Amino acid sequence: MERLRVGLIGTGFMGKTHALAWRNLRAVMGDGPEVLLETLCDQPADKAARLAEQFGFARATGDWRAMMADPGIDVVSITTPNNLHRDMALAAIAAGKHVWCEKPMALTLEQAQEMEAAARAKGVVTMVGYNYIHNPAFAHAVRLVNEGAIGRIVHFRGWVDEDYQADGELAWTWRARLADAGLGALGDMGCHLVSMTLALCGPVASLVADMQTVHDTRPLPDGSGRAPVENEDTATALLRFANGAHGSISTSRTAWGRKNKLAWEVHGTKGMIAFDQERLNELQLFVNEGPKATQGFRTILTGPEHPPYGQFVPAAGHQLGFNDLKIIEAAAFTRAIADGSRPHPDFTAALDFETLIHAIATSAREGRRVEL
Amino acid sequence: MERLRVGLIGTGFMGKTHALAWRNLRAVMGDGPEVLLETLCDQPADKAARLAEQFGFARATGDWRAMMADPGIDVVSITTPNNLHRDMALAAIAAGKHVWCEKPMALTLEQAQEMEAAARAKGVVTMVGYNYIHNPAFAHAVRLVNEGAIGRIVHFRGWVDEDYQADGELAWTWRARLADAGLGALGDMGCHLVSMTLALCGPVASLVADMQTVHDTRPLPDGSGRAPVENEDTATALLRFANGAHGSISTSRTAWGRKNKLAWEVHGTKGMIAFDQERLNELQLFVNEGPKATQGFRTILTGPEHPPYGQFVPAAGHQLGFNDLKIIEAAAFTRAIADGSRPHPDFTAALDFETLIHAIATSAREGRRVEL
Amino acid sequence: MERLRVGLIGTGFMGKTHALAWRNLRAVMGDGPEVLLETLCDQPADKAARLAEQFGFARATGDWRAMMADPGIDVVSITTPNNLHRDMALAAIAAGKHVWCEKPMALTLEQAQEMEAAARAKGVVTMVGYNYIHNPAFAHAVRLVNEGAIGRIVHFRGWVDEDYQADGELAWTWRARLADAGLGALGDMGCHLVSMTLALCGPVASLVADMQTVHDTRPLPDGSGRAPVENEDTATALLRFANGAHGSISTSRTAWGRKNKLAWEVHGTKGMIAFDQERLNELQLFVNEGPKATQGFRTILTGPEHPPYGQFVPAAGHQLGFNDLKIIEAAAFTRAIADGSRPHPDFTAALDFETLIHAIATSAREGRRVEL
Amino acid sequence: MERLRVGLIGTGFMGKTHALAWRNLRAVMGDGPEVLLETLCDQPADKAARLAEQFGFARATGDWRAMMADPGIDVVSITTPNNLHRDMALAAIAAGKHVWCEKPMALTLEQAQEMEAAARAKGVVTMVGYNYIHNPAFAHAVRLVNEGAIGRIVHFRGWVDEDYQADGELAWTWRARLADAGLGALGDMGCHLVSMTLALCGPVASLVADMQTVHDTRPLPDGSGRAPVENEDTATALLRFANGAHGSISTSRTAWGRKNKLAWEVHGTKGMIAFDQERLNELQLFVNEGPKATQGFRTILTGPEHPPYGQFVPAAGHQLGFNDLKIIEAAAFTRAIADGSRPHPDFTAALDFETLIHAIATSAREGRRVEL
């Protein structure tokens, strides 16, 4: 593979992030294919045209089906609202394109399963946008766990909170409707935490969960009254991992003051590692080594010793940002395309994340332990 | 009440803390009864004698039943291992003495209920040693919640972790045997978290829980093999509060690096408060007020504005310590004795804490939701 | 100005950062000129060619004088070692090109003055690479100060530390020679702190300073012995600002564990603001407002309320990185080119920074107060 | 020495702290002399009587000279305003009593010298109230430095800030008059920082300094106008240590939000230690050891491994408070009385601290380097 012709659908938060990742992949990483920004798709078409010019795409379209049919596109990024993922991904797969899709994969588990099966059948390379697991600090944590630095994993706790729905008088949007958004906090944020949890602790065997809607209704934007919020504002689950460890994860989109509080701690028989995405360039490590009088949690600042940090800045402590993580993710995706391997997480792995968040919702709704 | 004649049973960690609290109560607080340190009880008797001299007690004994029968004692502090609390408390109550008992109240819920009933029947004043809720920072948090500073409470999370059982090769002790210790992490630490949780969020309506024993066996101290660990190293519960809020609490005694990580966050519709006992003089407060550009969690350092901090030091930020909290607790107890009111938590309130931790254990053992 | 044709000299740490900034300026900001990456210059030429391809430049050269003479270049970025800045900047200015030069401006104050005079005479737009002052968190701090949020400024403290020269057995390099590097820690890092100090507190009237070389000699890389370190490892100055406030600044390149500890606190008559570049997305603010019991330093997480953060990510707390700051800097530079205004800091403003760090060195060497 | 009969002068902030320290010394430490609280002195006498009863002193007086003449007193604590220290200490020394005097020793250096000479001539044991250096965390830091854990000391920075004079409209008090208070921030807080600085880095050879008065005048309490503030609100000094290291220290009593910000960092050739009194149970340690990828500052929580912490609480992380440090200080004093050794800091050592803060004031006033 010498060059990769990219089509991107969506120009919002994640659309811009994908555009920047594609733009910078080779400039930052110094290897990999030549990336050609071919087509940017959004509606209306003039918006797509304006942003194509801004982001550096060769052309724009308002017709995503046309883009999927374009033989001049090798790979598509899908960053549209969740309820569009399935159709777009299936069309891209059918056209033999590699697919980089934002999380969550789809509205329902059935849709995600359908997408996964289609991709596997067609043999295209897929990836889902779990950018936080590409943080060099996180990769270092996984490495430490795998090397046994904290011994056998025995316990885990994780949280992921934001406050974008904390204000009860915020207007009702599609995010509040099951048919449009699917899950609430679990789909928006919980799946990110799940992607980290599984990488650190391995698969979950069973769980029990609970969830709540903090603000039952929200005012309609047109002032015509209030409409119900149909999905969860918070969810919490007790996990039993296949390896015998226990754990818990929790998410809230109504947590005032939290902006990206994706935090966790993994307990081992020899030590502990803790992390907080709001300080994404730091890792906390405690190891039961050396004299007790000088033991303590150490704050590791990410640096060139945590690849590929050094591709961005050659000096430790200078800090990566949110958009940088997406470049690392793009690199993992394109490497997999180049060598025919499976990137992490492809649709198959991401389906495990979806399965877990839907199991949480099922357990919460039905009030029973769910086996996985 | 002009003076209070004190008997203290136990001279370990909590025994010394009670002795210091009694010694300093009046000197620090400047009011309340004259406290007379009458009798210190421990075994063997020469140890009691030595420590009576050190702590400033007038006399010592190795016979706690004799102390209970002594008409020259008004109030007793019970700081012995958990399996002795019941008999000692019942004897003290029967003798008409006021009782300050360390937590947890007893090995089993039935014992705690028996103690509570006896105290109520006899009309003595009782208190259980939940020192952390007497922290001025915590009292301020409760005040903020009650004043509505963060709105309606909608979610809660709490943890309490230490690492005193994290080392799997630590020798087996009575702490690992149900018959001697009752609950594990829940009884040692979990009940502290419960005391805070209920003060912030009100009563729990129902819960589901899970628990695990991280180290199944431990080496016997005499080298003769290994013995089983019969109680939980970790426990986690999903709570539904009577007011409709959800929450979760978790505890581990095998959490490397955690020394007294009793931490929680309470989410309201207008803000959030967070706390960490490892920084016991700090409170984190976020309120959705003022321009977004200057919002943020503020770190409040405890000071004279948070009574009775000023009784210890007249300047903010100079910090209280663990033993200081016990003096505040003693003040609450003696004020209640003086005015015939109920201190918090007396045996009746503490029974709610016990009920909750035993409900967690029951839910975990039986795999079902427990209503309270 | 509809388009800007860029030449970049240097491909190291700062070279790559400039290349990425130019690449992303329009894609991120959504306005401003079309940026054309014309020529990348470095030696040897094949390295320049390889990196031109990686960074996306149209061509490469090993001959910087040729690039300066190229009428197809509008603006040059100079990111070479300090001892080359003067000649390159003068050549660019002579050719009528706008110049973006990395800090410090030059080896000596005389060189910097020469550069500033030339730029002024020629009327080109210049800018010096003080990226940290373009951090939205810093801009917010300056805004708060200017709005009087913390009252009249009365005191200041700042530090900037790294550990890249902390190891005494690290090999000797050109950085240790006055003739090649000019100042040591002051030139590498101190000037960054100065750029922030002056923005917060205004001009310095006079100062006294001290400096030291921690490691007097270093081993030569060829094993032939040791060579002297001729410039300072640390420097500290007592400042008197023109407005009457006092302050101090300090820098060390031998501070183990510090990776980018560019931190300061500015004291006002109504409050305080503090900042630490190692947590570049956070600002600490204390204001003497509201009840004492809830006062405290608040941690403000940068977000869309702190422009142009929202150009990178629309959600607060998602974090900018080091390279993002350079894009904001590029935007300031190109806006100035477009509207003919002076960006901050241009050569004239940056000369003030240079003047200050050289005054510190002079005061330290001569042991006397230096008026500015 | 089997028992120690104590007289205490003063019942304010420090008076109560001394009373509590004497009360608890033996109960906490478990060894040392029996402490008899004989006489409490303050004016008016009825206040002394009331507080004697509260603190547990056998009797009270309003006449400090009478107390000094009392042969039934072995040791006196002096906690009165600074302008009374000299006369009281000299009287106590003349009467052959051991003296524990609060800092600063006196209003002027001459007074301090007189006190030191008198004590030395009489051969009594003396101590000055530098409680912060008795913090187990600080003792551990000194131990680490002395053991070479961070190599040779090369740099130091320290600050000590509070905000008790930050409000410019706070009423004028005796603290603002040279004749009553002597130095300002230097005497109140700067000397504490000096006590730590010298313990970590050894003696200072010379210094240059600057100081300022932030609020020139303050309103008189009777509303009759404003009176001048005669001493410094802030002071900062550049230090050269005898061992060749450089450093700086700074203090402000007008630093909004700081409550007890006594913080420092000591830089060595192998690592760094940092400390902040507002988190007095934590020590930050960086050592250049092990793989770079896991290096970082570690937060050491004080525990039983840092004696005499274990005398207060047997479990790490449970936290000492401000008043606890005074008990450790009392233990050092009484041990020295018992074995005839010199405690640290006695009047001779504390005179070094006084000398240093007065040298700072001299350098600032006269605008010249001061050799020590």
Dihedral over Cα of A158, A164, A170, A176: its sign: negative
Low-confidence ranges of chain C (pLDDT < 50): none
Span A297-307, pLDDT tens digits: 999 999 999 99
Residue A313 sits at the chain C interface (C-beta within 8 Å): yes
Residue D2 — pLDDT band, cuts 50, 70, 90? confident
Name chain C contacts of D250, Cβ cutoff 8 Å: 157, 248
User: Where are the strands (E) in D147-225, listed by range?
Assistant: 153-161, 204-212, 217-219
Distance, in angstroms, between B167 CA and closest chain A CA?
7
Q: What angle do CA B59, B65, B69 make, to 5 degrees?
A: 75
Percentage with pLDDT > 70 across chain A:
100
* Structural tokens at position B110: 């039935």
Distance, in angstroms, between D271 CA and closest chain B CA?
22
Name chain C contacts of B144, Cβ cutoff 8 Å: 294
Q: Is the pLDDT of residue B365 over 60?
A: yes
What local confidence, expressed as pLDDT, does residue C32 receive?
86
The secondary structure element, H or E, covering residue A354 is helix A347-366
Which of C278, C313, C321 is closest, CB to CB, to A320? C321
What local confidence, expressed as pLDDT, does residue A266 receive?
98
Span D24-64, pLDDT tens digits: 999 999 988 899 999 999 999 999 999 999 999 999 999 99
Residue B216 sits at the chain C interface (C-beta within 8 Å): no
Name chain C contacts of D211, Cβ cutoff 8 Å: 246
Name chain D contacts of C166, Cβ cutoff 8 Å: 269, 288
Q: If you write DSSP's letter for every residue of C62-126 in order, what string do you get?
A: S-HHHHHH-TT--EEEE-S-GGGHHHHHHHHHHTT-EEEEPSS--SSHHHHHHHHHHHHHHT--E
Contacts across the B-D interface (CB distance below 8 Å): 109
Residue entry with tokens 């897929």 = A126
Among residues 259-288 of chain B, which lie with CB inside 8 Å of chain A? 267-272, 286-288
Boundaries of every domain in chain B: 3-129, 132-371
Instruction: Write out the CATH class of domain B132-371.
Output: alpha beta
What local confidence, expressed as pLDDT, does residue C232 receive?
98
Name A6's Cβ contacts closer than 8 Å, sequence gap at least 6: A22, A35, A36, A37, A38, A39, A73, A74, A75, A76, A77
Residue D298 sits at the chain A interface (C-beta within 8 Å): yes
Contact B166 A269 (CB under 8 A): yes
Substitution target in D155, D233, D275 with the highest count of C β-carbons within 10 Å is: D155
Q: Is C3-129's fold the same as C132-371's?
A: no
Name chain D contacts of C367, Cβ cutoff 8 Å: 369
Contact A321 C319 (CB under 8 A): yes
What local confidence, expressed as pLDDT, does residue D94 receive?
98
What local confidence, expressed as pLDDT, does residue B231 receive?
97
Which of B30, B258, B320 is closest, CB to CB, to D321? B320
Residue B362 sits at the chain D interface (C-beta within 8 Å): no
Substitution target in C248, C251, C298, C370 with the highest count of D β-carbons within 10 Å is: C248
State the CB neighbour count (10 A cutoff) for residue C304.
Answer: 18
Name chain C contacts of A323, Cβ cutoff 8 Å: 312-313, 321, 324
Q: What is the DSSP letter of D33?
A: P
The secondary structure element, H or E, covering residue C336 is helix C322-339
Dihedral over Cα of A137, A143, A146, A149: its sign: negative
The interface pTM score, or ipTM, of the predicted complex is 0.97
Name chain A contacts of D303, Cβ cutoff 8 Å: 292
Name chain A contacts of C19, Cβ cutoff 8 Å: 27
d(CA C345, CA C127) in angstroms, rounded, equals 6
Span C53-73, pLDDT tens digits: 999 999 999 999 999 999 999
What local confidence, expressed as pLDDT, does residue A324 receive?
98
CATH: 3.40.50.720, 1.10.10.60, 3.40.30.10, 3.40.1010.10. Which one for D3-129? 3.40.50.720
Strand order in the sheet with B75-78: B59-61, B34-41, B3-9, B75-78, B98-101, B126-128
Task: Let me know: does D302 contact D281? Beta carbons within 8 Å.
Answer: yes
Residue D323 sits at the chain A interface (C-beta within 8 Å): no
d(CA A191, CA A360) in angstroms, rounded, equals 11
Contact C259 A301 (CB under 8 A): yes
Question: Could you tell me which of C28, C27, C22, C24 has the C-alpha nearest to residue C40?
Answer: C22
What local confidence, expressed as pLDDT, does residue C298 receive?
98
Contact C257 D286 (CB under 8 A): yes
Residue B28 sits at the chain D interface (C-beta within 8 Å): yes
In order of A86, A156, A356, B229, D306, the CA distances from A194 in angstroms are 21, 12, 8, 31, 40
Q: Is the pLDDT of residue D332 over 80?
A: yes
Contacts across the B-C interface (CB distance below 8 Å): 48
Q: Is the pLDDT of residue D1 over 70?
A: no
Residue D28 sits at the chain B interface (C-beta within 8 Å): yes
Name B152's Cβ contacts closer than 8 Å, sequence gap at least 6: B268, B269
Residue D13 sits at the chain B interface (C-beta within 8 Å): yes
In three-state secondary structure terms, A24 is: helix
Q: Which chains touch A (3 or more CB pairs under 8 A)?
A: B, C, D
- The chain-wide mean pLDDT, for chain D, equals 97
Span D62-117, pLDDT tens digits: 999 999 999 999 999 999 999 999 999 999 999 999 999 999 999 999 999 999 99
What mean pLDDT comes out for the span B312-336? 98
Question: What does the CA dihedral C10, C13, C18, C24 come to, rounded to 10 degrees?
Answer: 140
Residue entry with tokens 């018992």 = D338
Task: Let me know: does B319 contact D325? Beta carbons within 8 Å.
Answer: no
Q: Is the pLDDT of residue B320 over 60?
A: yes
Name chain B contacts of A257, Cβ cutoff 8 Å: 271-272, 286, 295-297
Which of D12, D19, D317 is closest, CB to CB, to B27? D19
Residue D316 sits at the chain C interface (C-beta within 8 Å): no
Question: In b/e form, how buried is each residue of C244-279, taking b as 16+ CB within 10 angstroms?
Answer: ebbbbbbbbbbbbbbbbbbbbbbbbbbbbbbbbbbb
Ordered alpha helix ranges (H), D42-153: 45-55, 64-69, 82-94, 109-122, 136-146
Question: Could you tell me which of B312, A213, B66 has the C-alpha nearest to residue D19?
Answer: B312
Percentage with pLDDT > 90 across chain A:
96
Phi, psi of A4 (to 5 degrees): -130, 120
d(CA A221, CA B94) in angstroms, rounded, equals 67
Task: Let me know: does B56 contact D27? Beta carbons within 8 Å.
Answer: yes
Contact A293 D285 (CB under 8 A): no
Q: Is the pLDDT of residue B180 over 90?
A: no
Contact A315 C260 (CB under 8 A): yes
Residue A1 — pLDDT band, cuts 50, 70, 90? low
Single-letter amino acid, residue B371: E
What local confidence, expressed as pLDDT, does residue B293 receive?
97
d(CA C351, CA C363) in angstroms, rounded, equals 18
d(CA C29, CA B41) in angstroms, rounded, equals 75
Name D36's Cβ contacts closer than 8 Å, sequence gap at least 6: D3, D4, D5, D6, D58
Residue D236 sits at the chain C interface (C-beta within 8 Å): yes
Residue B251 — pLDDT band, cuts 50, 70, 90? very high
Contact A154 B211 (CB under 8 A): no
Contacts across the A-C interface (CB distance below 8 Å): 109
Contact D238 C209 (CB under 8 A): yes
Contact A288 B256 (CB under 8 A): yes
| A247, closest residue in chain B (CA to CA) | B236
Q: Which chains touch D (3 or more CB pairs under 8 A)?
A: A, B, C
Phi, psi of C80 (to 5 degrees): -80, 175
What local confidence, expressed as pLDDT, does residue D180 receive?
87
Residue A298 sits at the chain B interface (C-beta within 8 Å): no
d(CA A85, CA A76) in angstroms, rounded, equals 12
In order of A125, C350, D105, D115, D139, the CA distances from D191 in angstroms are 67, 39, 10, 17, 18
d(CA D193, CA D190) in angstroms, rounded, equals 5
Question: What does the CA dihedral D17, D18, D20, D25 come to, rounded to 10 degrees?
Answer: 130
Span A283-295, pLDDT tens digits: 999 999 999 999 9
Residue D254 sits at the chain C interface (C-beta within 8 Å): yes
Single-letter amino acid, residue D95: A
Question: Could you tell me which of A276, A278, A274 has the C-alpha nearest to residue A259?
Answer: A278
